[in-house]
Chain A
Amino acid sequence: MTGFGYDPVIQGERIALVDLLDRVLAGGVVIVGDVTLSIAEVDLVTVSLRALVTSVSALMDNMDDSQEYS
């Protein structure tokens, strides 16, 4: 069987940006109130981000180091 390619140390230091953005933009507790500025237009932000991303895929490639099987 293939070894399991997960290294917690590496994983903790360098995380694929896309995986992180999935979570910090669509996860987490959302607070809505008059004292907050919490993003309401996350869908919009995500959409424009994804459009932006095509032009910066090189950057993403460098940042991606998710652990994979082979």
Chain B
Amino acid sequence: MTAESGWVWMYGVADDDLGAFADSVAGVGGSPPRMVTAARLTAIVGDVGDREYGAAALRRNLEDLDWLARTARAHHAVLEAVADRGPVVPMRLATLFASDAGVTGTLQERADDFHGALSLVSARSEWGVKAHAVKPAESAPAPPVAGREGPATGPGAAYLHRRRAQLTASKDARQEALASARTVYAELGRFAVSSRLYPPQEPGLAGQSAPMVLNAAYLVADERAGEFAAAIADLTARHRFVQLTLTGPWPAYSFVGEGDGPGPR
């Protein structure tokens, strides 16, 4: 179907009764997504050209943040459209096959894994929970004025005293934030089927200057999503040293990969 030699980009795997899904989704490289069916599974794929998606080009392009952002969003948009119709097992970004035969072969070879992963994510969604440390309030109790309580006097000593108090307050806040993060992570786990920790994102990455102390993902039954959100509101009220952020629902990216239970590898 393509004149240029190309590759088959695989977005994810759904049940074979997926039916038509959002034709309006553009897909990676602007190529409309299509379906390949085998072993009672539907792979959602798209055709992409070798010039941009071949091994060498891909390696280079993945280092280009604009390209990566565009591609990740296109990959995600297709998976979201599929997720609107039913359970979907996402593939990692840039899973490419030489032809549909490779896709069919993989569906057949790993049919049990895919069926297992589909039942794991069925009627469940992934939610992201991040916690950022909150800086100690500016209005923290002022340290006693130096010079009245010890041998050290003068502006230098006062400064050092004040600075030490600030550092202590900041260190305490940081410890509190880390402790809160551990509590939040554990408590939210009670509402989830499964959870996973990501490394904290660098400060500044998402317009946040405060250090991130928790970057977690939860797989939550759709019927418990309300309870989960309420639990976050409750934790927010109880833990003043962290600011919590909820994202989602996401396709279950974090629960179908390696080392995550019954999903494929």
Contacts and interface: CB of A to CB of B under 8 A. Distances in A.
Given A19-B128, A45-B63, A61-B207, A24 B72 contact: yes
Q: Give the size range of A's interface with the partner.
A: 35 or more
B44 interface: no
Interface string A19-34: 1111111111111010
A53 B208 CA distance: 13
A2 B233 contact: yes
B179 interface: no
Contacts of B237: 1-2
Given A16-B206, A28-B90, A11 B243 contact: no
A9 interface: no
Contact of A31 (B99, B106, B204): B106
Chain B facing A: main interface SS: mixed
Contacts, number: 173
Contacts of B102: 33, 35-36
A39 B93 contact: yes
A2 B239 CA distance: 13
Q: Which of B68, B93, B237, B265: most chain A Cβ within 10 A?
A: B93
A6 B229 contact: yes
B15 to A, nearest CB: 15
Interface string B243-265: 11111111001111110000111
Contacts of A63: 69
Contacts of A60: 204-207
Contacts of A19: 128, 130, 206, 247
A56 B65 contact: yes
Contacts of B80: 12
Given A36-B96, A49-B65, A57-B205, A24 B76 contact: yes
B68 A49 contact: yes
Interface of B: 7, 10, 12-13, 55, 58-59, 62-63, 65, 68-69, 72-73, 75-76, 80, 89-99, 101-102, 105-106, 110, 117, 126, 128, 130, 198, 201-202, 204-208, 215, 217, 229-230, 232-233, 236-237, 243-250, 253-258, 263-265
Q: 3 tightest CB-CB pairs across the interface, nearest first?
A: A27-B253, A28-B92, A35-B102
Given A31-B264, A36-B96, 18 more contacts: A4-B229, A19-B128, A23-B253, A23-B254, A24-B92, A26-B254, A28-B90, A28-B256, A29-B264, A30-B92, A31-B10, A35-B105, A36-B106, A39-B93, A42-B92, A52-B63, A56-B65, A68-B243
